[in-house]
């Protein structure tokens, strides 16, 4: 998963839901229009907190008690990808395996404080967050004027440098056709970017170009982005897309969803309509294949044995031939159900494949889209039984289960959250929430199957949750029903070993604090960051462990 950026916002990195309800959409629009509007004349002139909605003084600011750090064994971390930044700071899902784990300690709940940064007058959600060698944040934030690649100060969240990306066709469609569901179903435009092993951002913009950018500091102390490489994919991808000068295109438009390197350094990319390609960075040579009739809305994962991706029909394992052409090693169809569910972007799996296990027993895990109950599916990745289904575990309640976010994978354990009922920022207005649920599933040590370890009733409507291996806590972005109609959002810490909730810290109230499919990201200094509809929130402890 993923995430969707408004205007935006991929997202999974991404684009939620279907269509805005008339009443909810009208109320949200009126509420947003009543907010003060500020115009930034310079990158750091926008520094302002995200305003809370009424009711923030009527809900608890903190629940639970501080946790004690209980680190997990470091030897079960995923292997370091040679062409990505160090594990934990490489992309939306943390590393090449999409484990959604961080080696950094998140907050323990010792007098945690909250700061926020409003990134735009409307929208501004920051999806993928990565960290350069010195701990500065690199993120892409979505506004109605287009996506912005930003370099942020980790303490103040002030913008140090900004690079303007082209506006997405879905934003133009939303504005000109008054159909904002176009935005919420779009995972393209740069939300799924990665940070490479040389601290460079690599992303696919909405013009079907793959860019590689570096950031440097000038003699006067100012920071700047520079485009080091620009690979044009328009000869290989249909690109007659909606724009301000092309409001009624007659051809096909196929947005690029995600990019990621393989272990040989090739840059892989996928499109919404099932195109898969590679770029040889040295020569610029491009090779492509297509999955006819299949859609790709999630990112993908890479290990020494190949690339794993999921379409709305099947799970794939691929490798590149000598000339770079993607080749399918194996394909496994899964139960995609009879239609999409509230809480999924399409009729298919909502998970980026998670790679886990060890060198002797490597696995890949996704969820399906079965009608009655969603299942966690685990497959063997390599060897004589490559592609064989190891286990199928039903999760959550009958008729109310789906996820559009990646599984957390650590060792032989998987954690999944239930997103059923969430579609976009209008879904949970007026104190509503989702049915919720979080489950941990473990693969048996002998590889004979899988078992449910614990279940939690916490409600995480759409967060890309994370695990800190440094302290043993899982971090979710949660919301409980409220009879007064207050929409209160919390950073919630859950014990990985037991499933017990340790503490909750209020981040803010109202739709501007809805994370709308954006991830939680744990920083090297122990801060937990969460992308929200209007920008970025940071939660950090202010007292030492007791």
| Cβ(335)–Cβ(348) below 8 Å | no
Provide the token pair at 521: 């990201």
Per-residue pLDDT, averaged over 270-284, amounts to 96
Query: In the 8-state DSSP scheme, what is residue 75?
Result: G
**Cα separation of 537 and 546, whole Å?**
25
What is the pTM (predicted TM-score) of this model? 0.91
Q: pLDDT class for 91, splitting at 50, 70, 90?
A: very high
Sheet holding 256-261, edge to edge: 256-261, 267-271, 275-279, 286-290
Provide the token pair at 216: 């440097």
Q: Is the sign of the CA dihedral 154, 157, 162, 164 positive or negative?
A: positive
CATH topology of domain 22-541: Methylamine Dehydrogenase; Chain H (2.130.10)
Alpha helices in 385-543 (DSSP H): none
pLDDT in tens, 123-173: 899 989 999 999 999 999 988 778 899 999 999 999 999 999 987 766 777
pLDDT in tens, 289-332: 999 999 998 999 999 999 999 999 999 999 999 999 999 999 99
Q: Residue 19: its pLDDT value, please? A: 35
Name the nearest CA neighbour of 530 among 543, 514, 511, 510: 514
**Residue carrying the six token digits 């969240």:** 157
- List Cα–Cα distances, 534 to 43, 69, 255, 428, in angstroms: 16, 32, 24, 16
Burial of 546 (C-beta count, 10 Å sphere; 0-12/13-18/19+): exposed
Question: Hey, which residues does 209 pair with through a beta bridge?
Answer: 232
Residues ≥6 apart with Cβ < 8 Å to 155: none
Residues ≥6 apart with Cβ < 8 Å to 126: 119, 139, 140, 141, 142, 150, 518, 531, 535, 536
Judged by DSSP in three states, 152 sits in strand
pLDDT in tens, 495-517: 999 999 999 999 999 999 999 99
Q: pLDDT class for 448, splitting at 50, 70, 90?
A: very high
Q: Residue 21: its pLDDT value, please? A: 41
Where are the chain's structural domains?
Answer: 22-541
Q: Residue 417: its pLDDT value, please? A: 97
């Amino acid at each position: 998963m993923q995430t969707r950026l408004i205007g935006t916002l991929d997202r999974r990195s991404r684009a939620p839901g279907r269509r805005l309800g008339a009443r909810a959409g009208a109320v949200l629009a009126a509420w947003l229009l009543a907010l003060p509007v500020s115009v930034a004349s310079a990158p750091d002139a926008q520094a302002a907190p995200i305003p809370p909605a009424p009711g923030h003084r009527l809900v608890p600011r903190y629940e639970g008690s501080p946790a004690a750090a209980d680190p997990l064994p470091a030897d079960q971390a995923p292997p370091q990808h040679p062409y990505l930044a160090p594990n934990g700071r490489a992309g939306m899902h943390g590393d090449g395996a999409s484990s959604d784990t961080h080696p950094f300690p998140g907050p323990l709940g010792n007098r945690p404080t909250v700061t926020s940064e409003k990134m735009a007058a409307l929208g501004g959600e920051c999806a993928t967050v990565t960290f350069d060698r010195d701990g500065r944040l690199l993120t892409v934030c979505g506004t109605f004027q287009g996506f912005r690649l930003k370099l942020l100060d980790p303490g103040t969240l002030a913008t140090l440098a900004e690079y303007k990306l082209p506006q997405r066709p879905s934003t133009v469609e939303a504005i000109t056709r008054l159909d904002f569901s176009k935005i919420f179903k779009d995972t393209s435009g740069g939300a799924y970017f990665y940070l490479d092993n040389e601290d460079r951002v690599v992303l696919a913009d909405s013009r079907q170009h793959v860019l590689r950018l570096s950031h440097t500091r000038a003699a006067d102390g100012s920071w700047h982005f520079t485009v080091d490489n620009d690979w044009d994919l328009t000869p290989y991808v249909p690109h007659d897309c909606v724009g301000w000068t092309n409001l009624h295109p007659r051809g096909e438009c196929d947005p690029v969803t995600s990019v990621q390197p393989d272990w040989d350094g090739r840059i892989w990319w996928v499109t919404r309509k099932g195109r898969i390609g590679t770029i040889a960075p040295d020569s610029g040579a491009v090779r492509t294949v297509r999955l006819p009739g299949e859609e790709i809305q999630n990112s993908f994962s890479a290990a020494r044995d190949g690339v794993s991706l999921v379409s709305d029909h099947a799970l794939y394992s691929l490798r590149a031939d000598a000339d770079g052409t993607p080749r399918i090693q194996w394909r496994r169809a899964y139960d995609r159900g009879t239609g999409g569910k509230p809480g999924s972007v399409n009729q298919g799996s909502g998970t980026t494949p998670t790679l886990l296990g060890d060198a002797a027993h490597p696995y890949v895990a996704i969820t399906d889209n079965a009608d009655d109950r969603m299942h966690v599916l685990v497959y063997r990745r390599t060897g004589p039984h490559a592609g064989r289904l190891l286990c199928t575990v039903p999760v959550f309640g009958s008729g109310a289960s789906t996820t559009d976010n990646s599984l957390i994978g650590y060792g032989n354990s998987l954690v999944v959250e239930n997103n059923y009922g969430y579609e976009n920022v209008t879904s949970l207005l007026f104190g509503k929430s989702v049915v919720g649920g979080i489950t941990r599933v473990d693969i048996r040590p002998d590889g004979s199957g899988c078992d449910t370890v614990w279940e939690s009733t916490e409600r995480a409507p759409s967060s890309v949750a994370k695990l800190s291996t440094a302290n043993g806590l899982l971090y979710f972005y949660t919301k409980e029903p409220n009879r007064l109609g207050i929409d209160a959002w919390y950073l919630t810490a859950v014990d990985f070993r037991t499933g017990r909730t340790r503490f909750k810290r209020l981040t803010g109230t109202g739709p501007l604090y809805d994370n709308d499919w954006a991830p939680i990201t744990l920083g090297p200094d122990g801060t937990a960051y969460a992308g929200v509809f209007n920008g970025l929130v940071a939660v950090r402890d202010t007292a030492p462990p007791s």
